[in-house]
Each structure stands twice: as C-alpha cells, then as structure tokens.
Chain A
Amino acid sequence: MAEGFTAAVELRELSRRCGNVAANAGINLRVEPGTIHGVIGENGAGKSTAMKILYGVMQPDSGDIFIDGKKCVWTSPTDAIAMGVGMVHQHFMLAGPYSALDNILLGAEPRRWGMIDRKRARARLEALASQYGLPVDWDRPIEELPVGIQQRIEILKLLYREARILILDEPTAVLTPQETNDLFCNLKKLRSEGKTILLITHKLREVMAFTDRVTVFRAGKVTGEVQTAQTTPQELASLMVGRKVVLNINVSPASPRPEPAIEIAGLSLAGEGAGSRHSLSNVSLRVNRGEIVGIAGVEGNGQSELLQAMLHPRDARCRTSGTVQFLNEDVTAWEALKIRDLGVAVIPQDRQHEGLLLERPVSESFLLGLQRNPAFSRWGLLNSGNWQAAATRAMKEYDVRPGDLTMPAGRLSGGNQQKLIVAREFQRQPRVLIAAQPTRGVDVGAIEFIHERIVRARDEGAGVLLVSFELDEILALSDRILVMYEGRIVAEFNRGGVSERELGLKMAGS
C-alpha cells in the first residue's frame, strides 16, 4: 500500500480474545487522513471488536493504536475522544425525552457559575451546524425527531467534541433511501472539511459508491485492503465470505398456478384520532401460489400495518375494514394461530422482538408456534425427544451456526438468528410465505442462502409476499412488484418491467 502519508488511524497487530474466540487476531489497518474508509465483513468477523478497541470501550490483549502517527493507549471512550476519535453507534446514544441540545452537550457542558451554559453551547453548535450543513431543531425532544435527524445529532455530538476521526457503525441500517442519500452527502462534506471517516457496513453497494479505500475482515483477520476504484462487489464479497458468492441469484421465471394464496380486498386501517390520515387505505392485492410478489416502498408507508392486518384481521387496532383470504378461506374473523395452521409461514420484520426468545435456548425459539404440532406434543406435554431431534436436523439443514441448541438465541449473530427463523417457519411446509425484510442486517453469505430458500419455497408452490425496503432485493426476487406509498398501493409492475429509477420515483410518491 501507499506509504507516503502519516495514517490518521493505524492499528498494528491488534489482538483480542473474547471468551474462547479470537475476535481479533493480528489486525492491521491504515487509514489515510481525509478519506472515507470502508470496513466490511460478515457479522462476527471482528470489525466491531476492532472499532470498540479503537474508540476505547475495550482494551486489546496485544497490539497498538496510532493516531496521526502517535502511539495511544486508552482505557475509556473519554481518552479516545480527547485524541479526536469518536463513534456513532448503530443504536443511538440518545435519551428520548431530552432535547437535542442536552443530548449533545452531555458530559461536555460549558459552565457558568456551576450551571450549564446552554446559550454558549447553542451558539457553538449553530456555528458547527452551518459549517457542515447539518441543521437541527435544538429544543425538540429527541423522540419527536426522525431517525435521520437523530443520526445527525450523533454526528454533531462528535463534532462538538472536536473529533477528527469519525467511526460510523452500520449507519444506514435504520435509514430510508432518502435519508441514506442525505447522510452520504453530509459525509462527503465532512471529508472535504478534512475529517477522516471510518464506515463500518456490510452493504457492498454503499462501500462501492462512497468509500475511497476498503478493508475487509473475516474471522478476526484482515483479508484484504483495496482501493475502491480498483475493485468489484464480487471481489469484496468473496473476500468477506472466503468463497465465491452469487450476489444476484438467478431467479428462474415463475410458473404461477391459478389458485390464490393471498387475497386482500379493500383493507383499511383508520389513523388514530379524527381527521388523521389512514394508515392503510383500501389496499387490495392478490398473490397466486407459485409466485413472489414484492412490496416496495419507503419504510413507514403502511407496510408494517399491512402485515399486522393480514395476520390479526380480527383485531380492531389492526384492521377497520376489508377482508383477508388465505388459500380460498376467508380468515377475516380468525385468530393468528388458526391462520398460521393453514400453512402460513411468517418471517417477521423485527426478528428480535417478534421472532425469537432472545434469552432462552435456541431450541425454544425453534418450537415457537409449532408447540401444538402433534409431532412435538401430545396431551399437553412436549415430546422432548422428537423436538430436539427435529431442531438438530433443522439447524444442520439450514446451516445455523453454532448448532448448539442450548445457547441463548440472542447470542447468535444476526444472520444465524434469521436462518433459525427461516428453519422454523419452513417446518410448516408453507403454502403461503410472508417474508418481511428477510435479510435486514444479515451478512452476504446468509442473504444468498435466505434468497435461495425463498425462491425454492416459491418453486414448491408457495405464494410469497415479500416486503422489503431494499430495492435490490425487491428487483431480484419479485415476479410482480407493488409499490406502497402513504398506505395505498400506487403502482404495479411485472418482473423486468421497471427500472430502479422509475421504482424509486413511485416510492417517493410521484
């Protein structure tokens, strides 16, 4: 690599064990000042550990950190921030009920007579905000601000502390495409003002579009460091996974059968309070068996409400009018359990809240929803032998690692959590599959796997409804695409019948 500069950040032979695992085994990383440097790798590859060490929340077992060529040893984030290194966490470090201003100045309060000098802080922040083009309403409580603005506040927090090196951990995981764009515009602006940015992500697309250099992690080691302009997504993906990865799986054309899997007619959900906009208005759609219908849209345009209304149609909080049919049965008055017993598999939008028992062993998450299956229970007692055997088999078939059934589900990586859910849901031999954000926060290898499974389910005759905020995913998998905007379906396209640009415009409501 080029040696003609003093690295803004340099990690030299950094090692750290976490329990029995070498989370980092001799990491070397050099970041050129004034660049956006991508750090990619699968979940559990050690990039988070390295970053935790870099901003002081963890200490290395061996190895050194150099900032601007000076060796640094620190024991807390305070030391790191004093040297100009700051981190924007994936889960924001912001307290909802308090104002943006208080959240930013926390721990670095300017004082006057022992009191917080909010006036001075505000003046400084306003100067920073206009310098970097990051306007914020300082007095509103954080919880009333959109996620994109909250992230902006996190960045301002670092600028306020005069950080020169900004680490961003999966910054786009929670953003809409529009907010993502804004973020990257802002990051480019920061770069042009001389800041150095480390971008941790596993979205290859972002790495390709916005970084100057990339370092790839795999299994606690650095497997490559390349100039972004001289690499391809395919090369990066195989560096990450350690084998060749099919980025866009070839989906054979569907052969839909005439039987309907899902039929929804006139589904509506009134908004809360009189006069407010409907969360769902008059949504009708049909998914045949043997096809994948994708719902594209920016997050928050009624997708979650649609899913809830389909699975809990009798609950007045989920549906105010309209009918839901699965497999020619009108289920509008049914309970979720009965609906699922028809052969409806669901990959929920939020796997940690809706899909898994995080604190309980993997085997129990595997049983969720299957507990009444005669194979696993009789006379109200669980048949432990059958259940454990089926779980073991499924863990193997769906490659959930590690295959330890007694481990708490929350300790699995995101990709493996998702594979566990897929394994469970596919136990039902689904005739209908509802997949919401099936690959959110999941690494490349697991994405490939889950996509394959979804397509296979289709080919075996399931009707699949796919809800995703990732355009790539929608375009790759869907046989038909519906666009949701403000609680209604505003457009429909066939596979190959729409460009990404056109779809984006429809999603934005034009």
Chain B
Amino acid sequence: MMMQIFASTLRVSTPLIFAALGGMFSERAGVVNIALEGIMLIGAFGAAVGTLVTHSPWLGAGCGIGAGVMLAAIYGLFVIRLRANQIVAGMAINMLAMGLTPFLCKTLYDVTGSTPAVPISERFQSAPLYLSWGLVLVCWFWMKYTPAGLWVSFAGEHPEALDAAGVRVNRVRWAAVLLSGVLAGMGGASLSIFLSSSFSRNMTAGRGFIALAALIFGKWKPVPTAIACLLFGFTEAVQIRLQGVILWGTEPIPVQFIQILPYIVTVLVLAGFVGHSRAPKALGEPFRRG
C-alpha cells in the first residue's frame, strides 16, 4: 500500500513539476505566470490531438508544447510588449484556454467533453517522469552556473541593473515566458497522454495554480520547488487512494470531500508556511528603460 502511494505520488507529481519549472523561469525573470493553468490545459489538449493524429506520444507531446508556446506567446505579447497587468492578462489566458479547448474538441470530434481515448500503446509509460526529474537538475545547474541563468535572476530582481549591464531585459523575459510555455505545455501533455488516456474538459482542475503554490513554497528555486510538487502530488495520490475506502461506519466518505484534500493542503501550506518566502523584487512589474 505504501509502495503504491509512493509510486502514484511520483506519477501524479510529474505534470506539477513541469509546470512549476515553467513558472520558475517566468517568475524568476519577473513575469507573474498565473497563465500556467491555461497553458497546461491547451498543452494537454494539443498533446491528445497530436497523439491521435501521429500515433506517437513524442510527436504528440511536441504538439502540446507547440500549443503551450503559442499561448505563452500571446501572454508575452500582452504583458511584455504591451505591459498589461499580469494578473488580468493571465486570467484572460486561462479563460481563453478553458473556452477554446472544448470548442476545438467539438469542432474536431463533435463532442465537447473529451477527445477519443488514445490507445495505451501510443501513450507515455514512464518517460515524462524521468524527464521531469532530469529537468529539475538541469534547471538548477542552469540557473546557478550559466550566464543566462544569472540574467533571468536579475531580470526579476533588478531589471535596471541588467539593462545597465548591457543585457536586453525584455529579451530575457520573452525567452523565459516562452520557456514556461514549453514546460507548462509538456506538463499538460503528461496529464493527457501519460496520467490519463485522453483530454477531458478542464482536466487541469487547478494544477497550474497548485504548481504556482509549489513554486512559492519552494522559494522560486528548482529543487525545493520540485520537492514541494511531491508534497502536493502525495496529497493527490492519497486522495485517489482514499476514494471509496470505508474508514469508519458502513459508508465510504463522499468522494467530493476526499477530492478537496489537495486544495486544502495548498491553502494551508500557502497560509502557514510561506510567510517568509521572498518573491523576486521586480515580479509583476513591466520593464521600460529610463
């Protein structure tokens, strides 16, 4: 039983880790990214459709990533180029994704609820899980030891200093936002063609926000963030495991109550532990020279 929950924890954490790493690049560079939710959702859709068409999970995931990057580009256009409010624009992106995916589903397959199932042989078995942890290490190394990592940090902490040092701040931010599109798109793909067998309506169910919570809990650092993702993944695994189990009396706990678990933990973690977590200083502030 413990082994099962452990294995399940690792699996359900995978989309969170991708999305949280994506969020990390964007937020470390100074761009709030509540659009993660919408990017994941469209990534999940793109990956399901892509796999149904190409019969390869890798090509499918590529489609999911492509869809994520496109949505991230729209977000970047608003918040970097046009300097819109990042929360409002992010929310708009989420709504766009929430409306667009059932619409496209209806157009392609004549149902709004979900895409047809992807056969098991064409789905990912475990690759995204290994990939996500590999990426955690790569991101850690990259942020710490490469010039580009330092630029991302300064773009979010003190963009004027980066500009004065001769690096174009908004270019760094663009790269970071597009990269968050890649990673959140991959997070969505691992939801639809790794954890389940098809895209279904609003299947992210707040995972983009949970990834953001993990990012805050992990102090915007790759390794602690991934560990925070594991914590949230664990509550989800427990939740799945508890469904239909009779803990006391004769009736199982209503499934709706059990499904609340990950969200309650998110709220508790954010409310209780995060007081001391310090966000990048220029987070949420559009950059303009002079």
Binding site for B on A (CB under 8 A): 52, 57-58, 76-78, 81, 87, 89, 93-98, 102-103, 106-109, 111, 114-116
Contact = CB atoms under 8 A, between A and B. Distances in A.
Contacts of A108: 165-166
A103 B164 CA distance: 11
A116 B150 contact: yes
Q: Which 7 A-B pairs have the closest CB atoms?
A: A107-B165, A78-B166, A93-B161, A95-B158, A95-B157, A109-B147, A115-B145
Among B147, B161, B164, B167, the one with the most A-chain Cβ atoms within 10 Å of its Cβ is: B164
A116 B167 CA distance: 16
Contacts of B147: 109, 111, 116
A103 B161 contact: yes
A107 B281 contact: no
B154 A95 contact: yes
B145 A116 contact: yes
B290 interface: yes
Given A106-B150, A107-B166, A93 B160 contact: yes
Contact of A57 (B150, B162, B289): B289
A107 B158 CA distance: 13
B290 A94 contact: no
A106 B161 contact: yes
A215 to B, nearest CB: 23
A141 to B, nearest CB: 11
Contacts of A57: 164, 289-290
B39 to A, nearest CB: 28
A81 B166 contact: yes
A57 B290 CA distance: 7
Contacts of A111: 147
Contacts of B153: 95, 98
A102 B158 CA distance: 13
B278 to A, nearest CB: 8
A95 B151 CA distance: 11
Nearest to B161: A93
A94 B158 contact: yes
Q: For the side of the interface on B, what is the size category?
A: 20 to 34
Contacts of B146: 114-116
B122 interface: no
B164 A89 contact: yes
B285 interface: no
Contacts of B145: 115-116
Contacts, number: 61
16 contacts: A57-B289, A77-B163, A77-B164, A78-B166, A93-B158, A93-B165, A95-B158, A95-B161, A96-B158, A96-B281, A107-B151, A107-B165, A115-B146, A116-B145, A116-B147, A116-B150
Contacts of A89: 164
B289 A107 contact: no
Please classify the interface of chain B as helix (H, G, I), strand (E, B), loop, or mixed, using the class held by over half of its residues.
helix
Among A93, A98, A109, A114, the one with the most B-chain Cβ atoms within 10 Å of its Cβ is: A93
Interface string B124-156: 000000000000000000000111001101100
Among B145, B150, B166, the one with the most A-chain Cβ atoms within 10 Å of its Cβ is: B166
B110 to A, nearest CB: 50
Among A96, A103, A106, the one with the most B-chain Cβ atoms within 10 Å of its Cβ is: A106
Contacts of A87: 164
Nearest to A82: B166
B256 to A, nearest CB: 42
B162 A106 contact: yes
B150 A93 contact: no
A50 to B, nearest CB: 15
Given A111-B147, A115-B146, A106 B163 contact: no
B129 to A, nearest CB: 28
Contacts of B162: 106-107
Contact of A93 (B164, B167, B278, B290): B164
Contacts of B154: 95, 98, 106
A89 B163 CA distance: 13
Nearest to B290: A57
Contacts of B157: 95-98
Nearest to A108: B165
Nearest to A107: B165
A95 B160 CA distance: 10
A97 B158 CA distance: 10
A116 B160 CA distance: 21
Contacts of A97: 157, 278
A190 B151 CA distance: 30
Nearest to B147: A109
Interface string B13-25: 0000000000000
Given A94-B158, A114-B146, A107 B167 contact: yes
A378 B151 CA distance: 55
Given A102-B150, A111-B147, A115-B146, A94 B166 contact: no
B155 to A, nearest CB: 10
Interface in B156-203: 157-158, 160-167
Nearest to A103: B161
A102 B146 CA distance: 11
B164 to A, nearest CB: 5
Contacts of A106: 150-151, 154, 161-162, 165, 167
A84 to B, nearest CB: 14
Given A95-B154, A95-B158, A115-B145, A77 B166 contact: yes
Given A96-B157, A116-B146, 9 more contacts: A57-B289, A81-B166, A98-B150, A98-B153, A107-B162, A108-B166, A109-B150, A111-B147, A115-B146
A53 to B, nearest CB: 11
A58 B290 CA distance: 8
Nearest to B160: A93
Given A57-B289, A106-B150, A116-B146, A95 B281 contact: yes
Contacts of A116: 145-147, 150
A106 B153 CA distance: 10
Contacts of B151: 106-107
Contacts of A107: 151, 162, 165-167
Contacts of B163: 77
B218 to A, nearest CB: 15
Nearest to B141: A115
A93 B169 CA distance: 14
Interface in B261-290: 278, 281, 289-290
Among A52, A87, A107, A108, the one with the most B-chain Cβ atoms within 10 Å of its Cβ is: A107
A76 B166 contact: yes
A52 B160 CA distance: 14
Contacts of B160: 93
Among B153, B160, B161, the one with the most A-chain Cβ atoms within 10 Å of its Cβ is: B161
A249 to B, nearest CB: 38
B9 to A, nearest CB: 31
Contacts of A52: 290
Nearest to A157: B165
Among B146, B151, B157, B165, the one with the most A-chain Cβ atoms within 10 Å of its Cβ is: B165
